[in-house]
Amino acid sequence: MPYLFTSESVSEGHPDKVADQISDALIDNFMAYDAKSKVACETLVTTGQVVLAGEVKTEAYLDVQDIAREVIRKIGYTKSEYMFEANSCGILSAIHEQSADINQGVERTNPEEQGAGDQGMMFGYATNETDNYMPLALDLAHKLLRELAALRRENKQITYLRPDAKSQVTIEYSDDNQPIRIDTIVISTQHDDFADDNTMLAKIKEDVINILVPRVKAQLKPELQKLFDDAITYHINPTGKFVIGGPHGDTGLTGRKIIVDTYGGKGAHGGGAFSGKDPSKVDRSAAYATRHIAKNLVAAGLCDEVLVQVSYAIGVAKPCGVYVNTNGTAKVKLHDGEIARKVEAIFDLRPYAIEQRLKLRNPIYSETAAYGHMGRKNEVVTKIFNEGKKNEKKVEVELFTWEKLDYVDKVKAAFGL
């Protein structure tokens, strides 16, 4: 029987994402100046106020206020009427030294025996329904908001947009799990004040349907463009006026958008947030590692979709277990448990090995903090920290290494594909 599946996304100006981006900007700066830094940094944002809290072990010194203000400025909170503005918001830092009790469980004389930074389970997922091996509903939800942000910055076709926004996409699937059509699109975007509320709602709906959606549709391959039809239900700013938004409208906290960050409800999530954590925290590094595994398994043709789980005990290098679920789509005559054992032999899932394989002790995290950590473009970029200052530093880094298909040949060889 056909069914509906929904995923949501939030923009870079959403208060929780503002918090994530500040936390990850701090991680990047720590990594740029001391790659061995151990960091767990949380951020709270509300009306005119930013609170930074967390634990750090590092040789680096950072101007955390300046870093936070630059993130807020880049997002677009630059006007006093937003009630949260880069130059004027208060910033309180309550960052202190990391617990020695935790650190002794992570660092080892032999780096390869580095223990996991915490206990827990992490999941990776991949599906062949999109070119980037991501669930389609989430991929479209992200694309809508990335394009909405582009329209806001261009300030030409749509001139009233403010930074905060949310999207949601519902897709109808067939009995055999193939997308048939887009059933519903929801967009809620913060905007400048209009003189008349009815004019406002009509204008925003018209612009979303006639400007935003066609720009997103044009980015898709023809078979996905066909999913857009005249029967789509649109809910555009369904509550009406949305002038008060961002941290003034809703308090934001690091780590509250973990489903947006991963697979939009497809697959599973272990519960641990990513942003603000250095890669010794397996909440982050092992989630990237399992995504890397899942994507390479599907790309190799082993299965149409797969969920990969790994679990750890704090202070212990070897995982407690590896689990694989292909949802009956495997193309080899092996049970999922047998596939899991082969996966464990191909991919070293000790924390240090993950850090090295995916190049995680680099300042690569700011780019992950909005529009999803998975399904993104793997590329090499040059980043500049403290530009124009005495301690300016240029670093060439490789982003989204867990999206590389560099283990496809190894998977094919191991499974005889």
- Cα(166)–Cα(49) distance, rounded to whole angstroms? 22
Beta strands in 193-289 (DSSP E): 233-236, 252-253
Measure the CA–CA gap between 316 and 116, rounded to whole angstroms.
6
- Asked if residues 57 and 85 have their Cβ atoms less than 8 Å apart, the reply is no
Query: Is 164 flagged in the annotation as binding?
Result: yes
As given in the structure block, the two tokens for residue 15 are 């208060």
Enter the tokens of residue 206. 């018209």
In the sheet that holds 305-312, the strands lie side by side as 120-127, 305-312, 321-325
Number of CB atoms found within 10 A of residue 53's CB? 16
- The response to whether 166 counts as a known ligand-binding position is yes
Short-list 61, 65, 17, CA closest to 37: 61
Q: Tell me whether residue 217 is annotated as binding.
A: no
- Of 22, 18, 57, 24, the closest CA to residue 39 belongs to 57
State yes or no: 63 annotated in a binding site: no
Please tell me whether 273 is known to bind a ligand: yes
Longest dimension (CA), the chain: 67
The one-letter amino acid code at 355 reads E
Task: Answer yes or no: is 281 a known binding residue.
Answer: yes
176 annotated binding-site participant? no
Whether 241 has a binding-site annotation, put simply, is: yes
Determine which helix (DSSP H) or strand (DSSP E) holds 137, and give its type and residue range. Answer: helix 136-154
98 is in an annotated binding site: yes
The Cα 336–Cα 326 span in angstroms is 7
Residue 53 counted as an annotated binding residue? no
The answer for residues whose C-beta is within 8 angstroms of residue 271's C-beta and 6 or more apart is 120, 258
Q: Is 108 annotated as a binding residue?
A: no
178: which 2 tokens? 């193939």
Alpha-carbon distance values, 276 to 111, 207, 374 (Å): 23, 36, 17
What's the alpha-carbon Rg for the chain, to the nearest Å?
A: 22
156 annotated as a binding-site residue = no
387 marked ligand binding residue: no
394 annotated to a ligand binding site: no
Residue keyed to tokens 């899942």: 294
Reference 327, options 134, 126, 68; nearest CA is 126
Is 318 labeled as ligand-binding?
no
Residue located via tokens 């997922």: 125
User: Could you tell me which residues come within 8 angstroms of residue 376 by beta carbon, excluding any fewer than 6 positions away?
Assistant: 132, 367, 368, 399, 400, 403
257 in a labelled binding site? yes
CA dist 373 and 300 (Å) reads 22
Which of 397, 311, 366, 249 is closest to 124 using CA atoms?
311
No. of H helices and E strands in the chain? Answer: 13, 13
Write out the binding residues: 14, 16, 42, 55, 98, 164-166, 241-242, 250, 256-257, 273, 277, 281
Binding site for ATP: residue ranges?
A: 14, 164-166, 241-242, 250, 256-257, 273, 277
Q: Binding site for K(+): which residues?
A: 42
Summarize the annotated binding site for Mg(2+) as residue ranges.
16
* Residues annotated within a binding site for L-methionine: 55, 98, 250, 281
